[in-house]
Amino acid sequence: MPLPPKKDQTITLEAASKLTANFRRQSQADAVIAAGFWKETVQKILDQTGCVALRVYYGLNPDGSPAPVLVGVNEKGDDLTTGILGDENYPCPPFCAAPNPLNS
């Protein structure tokens, strides 16, 4: 399926805070609430020939913890599955930022 028209996908901190608070409210107290990726991993995916976007698939590790999978997307909206994929995230917790509106 082709990609939708480009639009501004940024949101305010207030809106983002509401979304993350909704997630934390429905999650277990010890749930993973975020996944971090080093810039180099994301950049490798974005720098692939033909990559115009990034898609995140929601996966699960064998232990039930979240496993977001990053993949580049071409202009047709197809995943670049033969290219570089990202997983190996650093989860929060334990790798969390200081308390802020997105995590507290």
| Residue 2 DSSP label | P
Q: Which residue matches tokens 């994301």? A: 42
- 40-69 pLDDT, tens per residue? 999 999 999 999 999 999 999 998 889 999
pLDDT of residue 65: 87
Report in angstroms the alpha-carbon separations of 31 from 22, 28, 34, 92. Answer: 13, 5, 9, 8
Q: Give the mean model confidence (pLDDT) for residues 74-97.
A: 95
| Residue 12 DSSP label | -
- Look up the pTM and report it: 0.89
pLDDT of residue 101: 96
- 29-43 pLDDT, tens per residue? 889 999 999 999 999
Residues above pLDDT 70, as percent of the chain: 100
